[in-house]
Amino acid sequence: MAHKNEIEIKTGYRDELIGSVATLHSRVYSDLVGFGAYFEAMVATNYANFINRLDYGPNQTWYAENDGRIIGSITIDGQTKGDNIGYLRWFIVDPEHQSAGLGGKLMQAAMDFCDEQGFEEVHLDTFAGLDAARKLYERFGFKLIEEELGRNYGEEVLEQKFIRSNLGPA
């Protein structure tokens, strides 16, 4: 059992995971860029649908827990994109725990999984302005390949697509 204030990274499903991940995304992005109900509903719906297929195919989700509270998450969806492509989704760290290496630990776990799965590429979709996250993506080999204005998050933002190529064992 973890000591109080110890952060643990766990995989798979646990009670309240879907609601906790959706709530964390909603709170962070509402404060940061003003995303509202559309964004929260989108995260909750899509993450719930993913969790229902967590045990199928090359899928995995990780969450960081501190004293029973979810403070971060990251997911690799190995089915949605097809063609031996992993899809990094629902990556978030509570602002109170940012800049302490937690994002890097979550990203390392996810990229290790991608390498074990032998994915040729890993894709991620995000939007401009998340500079700390972008630096982390680039540190793990992601490259920006596309930018365009869009409303996929419910508000107009400069949407970005990143790809990490040439994965797998040497």
Asked if residue 115 is part of any domain, the answer here is yes
DSSP states along 108-135: HHHHHHHHHHT-SEEEEEEETT-HHHHH
User: Which pLDDT value is given to residue 168?
Assistant: 42
Asked if residue 1 is part of any domain, the answer here is no
Query: Domain holding 31: CATH number?
Result: 3.40.630.30
User: Which pLDDT value is given to residue 170?
Assistant: 44
Asked if residue 159 is part of any domain, the answer here is yes
Asked if residue 170 is part of any domain, the answer here is no
**Residue type for 31, please?**
D
> What total of structural domains would you count in the chain?
1
Asked if residue 2 is part of any domain, the answer here is no
User: Which pLDDT value is given to residue 150?
Assistant: 96
Asked if residue 97 is part of any domain, the answer here is yes
Sorted by sequence, the CB contacts under 8 Å of residue 98 that are 6+ apart come out as 132
How far CA 73 is from CA of 10, 21, 85, 107, 158, in Å, comes to 9, 7, 20, 9, 23
CB-CB contact of 10 with 61 (8 Å): no
User: Which pLDDT value is given to residue 35?
Assistant: 96
User: Which pLDDT value is given to residue 122?
Assistant: 98
Asked if residue 85 is part of any domain, the answer here is yes
User: Which pLDDT value is given to residue 57?
Assistant: 80
- Taking the C-alpha atoms of residue 156 and residue 127, their distance in angstroms, rounded to an integer, is 10
Note down the domain range covering 68. 7-165
Tens digit of each residue's pLDDT, the chain (170 residues): 445 678 999 999 999 999 999 999 999 999 999 999 999 999 999 999 999 999 988 999 999 999 999 999 999 999 999 999 999 999 999 999 998 899 999 999 999 999 999 999 999 999 999 999 999 999 999 999 999 999 999 999 999 999 999 644 44
